[in-house]
Structure 1
Amino acid sequence: MTSRRHFLQTSLLAAGALALPRGGSAATASGARVVSTWDFGVGANAAAWQVLGAGGSALDAVEAGARWAEADLCNPTVGRCGNPDRDGVLTLDASIMDGDGRCGAVAALEDIDHPVSVARAVMEKTPHVMLVGQGAQQFAVSQGFEKKPLLTEGAKQAWREWLKTAQYQPQINAEREQRFKDRRPGDKSNHDTLGILALDASGKLAGACTTSGMAWKLHGRVGDSPIIGAGLYVDNEVGAATASGVGEEMVRNAASFLVVELMRQGRSPMEACREAIERVVRKRPEASKRLQVCFLALNKHGEAGAFALHKGFVYALRDDGSGPHDRLHDSASVYTTEQT
């Protein structure tokens, strides 16, 4: 079996040979396309493509991609291998949204695998949009999800190491290769959400977001990922957007909704992401030098684009066009050197 490291390396090589129009990516003839945040998006896209490639729906595809990240990736920022809060408790957040406006979310969910699927159950089986905490767990169990401890020994060890200083400061970017190595105490990959957007062959859009949130956060903290309009927004008439980075900034700016609305006004996906980032800078110029904020967008024509505050954000793209099917793209950024 091809290793994740080899998969990532070949994807990076493919990215270097790709020319992108207008700072984004043109659609293929069939129109099916999936994009995901960060380099672990390559694996999420592969899982999603098993659905899209068979003619399945964008909604099923993004759920499949997010489930891969939650279970198989074993990443300290997503799913069952996530780092806990400062009390040593692992809580998970997720959202899912269809292009017709239906959406569901869970926040501060404990001891349940696949929060994205619980979020979909909220969307399809309740009159609500979001369930949180114990209520979300109770609902998940009622829907047949198994309750089980998820905190790994690696995450416990990292938490114990953090307790020696108990200092918290978000890192602008973690070393991306570290996500594919064995977990080590003090891993700084503490805000790399998996956001995934898909366009299916019928022209329908969907998106999903899943995360374990910031490592060592205050117990009960919820970021942007489960908040529709902040971490995720999808509209079949326009496009879809998702975010990664320090979630409070996305919440303050209703960021993903903003990106979609800017595309509605005629901006390309990259232009919309850039304008949303520039708004963050204008509102909080000093804070923006210390925090990472990243946006990824996909419009109804299949054009993709991204923009970030700081360099280092990458996104993965997959379609059925000629040439390599799995590609990583470096996002442009406001700041070209990482702030310290």
Structure 2
Amino acid sequence: MPSLISQQWQERTSGFFSSSGTKLREARQSAGAFVGEVAKDAKVNVTDVAERVGSLFKSRWAILQQPATRHAVQEHLITAAATTGTLVRKGITETKEKVSVGKIKVEEAAKKTAQKSKTLLTDIERWQKGVASSDVFGVAIEVTVQRQESTRPIPFILIKCADYLILTGLNSPSLFKAEGDKKLIQQLVSAYNQDPSASIPEGVNPVDVAALMKYYLASLPTPLTTFELYNEVKDARSSVNRMRKSLQKLSSVNYNTLEFVTALLLRVSEKSQLNKMDSHSLAMEMAPVIMWREDKRPESYREYWRHPSRSPKKSNDFETATPWDLLSDEGEGVDASSSIPLDDIVQVDFGAVEVVQCLIEHHNAIFTDAEETSSQVMARSYLSIILSTLLLFLPLLTAAEAEWKPKKFPVVVSTWSFIEAARAAWRAVDKGSSAVEAVVEGCSACEELRCDGTVGPGGSPNENGETMLDALVMDGVTMEVGAVAAMRYVKDGIRAAWLVMKYSRHTLLAGEGASAFAISMGLPGPMNLSSPESLKKWSDWKENRCQPNFRKNVVPANGCGPYKPKDGGIDVSTESCEMGTIEYRLPPLVGPHNHDTISMAVIDKMGHIAVGTSTNGATFKIPGRVGDGPIAGSSAYADDEVGGCGATGDGDIMMRFLPCYQVVESMRQGMKPEEAAKDAVSRIARKFPDFVGAVVAVDKNGSHAGACHGWTFQYSVQDPNMDDVQVFTVLP
């Protein structure tokens, strides 16, 4: 701080100390003889107490005059002195008010004043020695990370806040923009300064948690982008390559923390339809606390617990007043800080705003370097593992689970040997896409390739020769689901399901309504979903008298219809006639070559899981039939706290058991993926011994396993330990 300001501050403070005793004497005289009697009875002379307090402060002042300590403690001493002034004035006021009450009240007020004065002196001693060893706010980020004694190169407070927001706050309106509850934020600041590893209490408004993150970043002595790189980073905002190279000059802690924070902002921006905070809005709010010039420190963020420039008139104003307010005389109309400009007017640095917006919108490209060395690849792979652990959720760990373990993220798991679909999902998630986005990319690739003729357009005709699509996508973080069923005229099933999740409050749309919605949201259509192959398959089926089909108890039994209910008993050649038994179709109409639903689960780099399915249903199904493909819990299910599941097979039977929901709940109860998968399949087989189907399970750590019944099942996997997709075979 400049010497002029220091001199002004010293003069004001010295004047305050010298006037404190005089003001108390005047207050005592105005109180009259009765106050004197009370003071005598209580053996406490308020004037003497004030003089002793002043004497103590003067003795401490001599220490503070030393050049080595003056600058470091000056700001804190302002606050301490101002607080003392308020307490003294408060003591005067209380003395006047307590005259009619008696000496006991006066004694209590005096003791309270003396005790608080001792506390203030302790605070001065604390700051005289430097920042407390447990403090987080206002401490260099490298020091904070070093104190953590952890392999995680990011401050715990940011990790805790991000965890909390991922779980409860991404949809909160005006996130990182709303001011928040200043009193609560002050309490959280105090809590983290005492215990840097503390957890955020349940029920805290996500807006307050976001504001806490902003204040922490603003309190850092230097910005994440550093003063040295300010101009270089700002000049690189129009080029992803230049930005990437500039940021690589940061220290590992600054780089990792910047990547972590902007990754969270990217996730927030993805929910902009709900929280009203797109990348530009977030950049406007966060740029001042991420990137600033050396002479433009974000001082205005002190307002999170202080009201600017207002002299407190009431006792309850104490905690919200600024130090200069408290040092000013109550009768003065001039702001005490008027002669010491604090530059409270926030000037928008649009260059910094553009930088942060660039980091959000191009996050995956900027923080991914195709030219990394092998050691850098290992380091970044390790960072991805850390980030996935940090942002997964707030784990409720037992003592045995408390030790941190790296996880194998990202992970892609898909039913069947649909290798190109798994590769497409892997390319997306490996570049930093979210789990939902990767699932959509993977299933969409399968639709375009018409995997085995049972996914996407041009396959599995119904009785009328028409191809219709079912699809589902589910976000394991938010538990949101979007699905379409029996959709005509639109070839992009999985993208239509994603649009339902993004742009409606519904879970499932069906038939022509689903088609109309998808087209209105921008998907191409209407179009004919049949293909020469599907029409040939349908023609051959018609020549075979429409056999086999999914009809029962109708006539004609061996023809193409029109069908009518059959009179009389059940034909024992195709059905069981025993009362109370379960019906089975002979032979099975579902097999690996006429009903290969793709069901995919993806865990992204942040450890979040999503699932999706796409199918054109059972071949020669009755028009209007909806299978298990668009049914959450049957074809697929995901919960970030546990894991996910995908299923394929005879959907008409499997949807009655919700096998994927069962798998996830079994893993929640402690079963391993293999145990959970086998248990879900066996529950169906006990009731329907001739059914064919399979499930694949993946837990939150990336472990996977499959189980099947009635056929040999394969599923595809890729994780960081694999050079390419691997196919696993499961026997019934």
Bin the TM-score by the shorter chain: 0.7 to 0.9
Letter of the 2:506 partner, please give it.
Answer: H
- Given that 1:306 and 1:332 are in contact with CA atoms closer than 8 Å, whether structure 2 keeps it comes out as no
Normalising to structure 2: TM-score of the pair? 0.38
- Tell me what 1:272 maps to: 676
C-alpha displacement at 1:238, in angstroms?
A: 0.4
Give the deviation of 1:324 after TM superposition. Answer: 3.9
- How far the C-alpha of 1:240 sits from its partner, in A, is 0.5
**Alignment correspondent of 2:547:** 167
Partner of residue 426 from structure 2, selected from 30, 35, 49: 49
Question: Which ranges of structure 2 fall in alignment gaps of 5 or more residues?
Answer: 1-404, 549-586
Point out the structure with the larger helix share. 2
Shift of 1:311: 3.8
- Structure 1 unaligned runs (5+)? 1-26, 175-188, 334-340
More strand by share: 1
Deviation of 1:73 after TM superposition, in Å, equals: 3.5
SS at 2:666's partner residue? helix
Larger relative contact order, structure 1 or 2 (CA cutoff 8 Å, min sep 6): 1
SS of match in other structure, 1:79: coil
The equivalent of 1:310 in structure 2 is: 710
Q: Percent identity?
A: 35
Instruction: Return the letter of the residue paired with 1:258.
Output: Q
Amino acid paired to 2:480: R
Matching of residue 210 in structure 1 with residue 590 in structure 2: no
Task: Measure how far apart 1:87 and its partner are.
Answer: 1.1
- State which of 118, 126, 134 in structure 1 corresponds to 2:496: 118
2:392 aligned partner: none
Looking at structure 1, the residues matched to 431 and 474 of structure 2 have their Cα atoms a distance apart, in angstroms, of 21
Amino acid at match of 1:294: A
Is the CA contact 1:225–1:231 (under 8 Å) kept in the aligned structure 2? Answer: yes
The correspondence of residues 1-340 of structure 1 with structure 2, limited to 5 A, is: 29-40=407-418, 42-100=419-477, 101-147=479-525, 148-165=527-544, 166-168=546-548, 170-171=588-589, 173-174=591-592, 189-284=593-688, 288-289=689-690, 291-321=691-721, 323-333=722-732
Greater alpha carbon shift after TM alignment, 164-173 vs 117-126: 164-173
Distance 1:190 1:110 in 2: 19
What RMSD, in angstroms, separates the aligned Cα atoms of the two structures? 1.6
- How big is the shift at 1:31? 1.6
Assess if the C-alpha contact under 8 Å between 1:55 and 1:201 holds in 2. Answer: yes
C-alpha contact 2:459 2:533 (8 A) present in aligned 1:
no
Q: CA deviation at 1:170?
A: 3.9
- The Cα shift of 1:72 comes to 2.1
Q: Deviations over 1:207-248 (max 9, x none)?
A: 100000000000111110100111111100001111100001
TM-score, length basis structure 1: 0.81
Count of aligned residue pairs for this structure pair: 287
Residue 144 of structure 1 deviates from its aligned partner by 1.2
Q: In 1, are the aligned partners of 2:468 and 2:486 still within 8 Å (CA)? A: yes
Higher alpha-carbon deviation: 80-89 or 94-103: 80-89
Large movers: runs of 4+ above 6 Å? none
Distance in 2, matches of 1:89 and 1:72, equals 19
Deviations 1:1-39 (A, max 9, x none): xxxxxxxxxxxxxxxxxxxxxxxxxx9855210010011
**Alpha-carbon distance in structure 2 between the residues aligned to 1:82 and 1:154:** 7
For residues 301-333 of structure 1, what are the alpha-carbon distances to aligned partners after superposition, in whole Å with 9 as ceiling and x for unaligned?
A: 100111000342100001121x54311101142
Give the secondary structure class of the aligned counterpart of 1:253. coil
Aligned in 2, Cα 1:28/1:50: closer, same or farther, shift over 3 Å?
Answer: farther
Query: Comparing 309-318 with 66-75, which one deviates more in the overlay?
Result: 66-75
Give 1:172 shift. 5.8
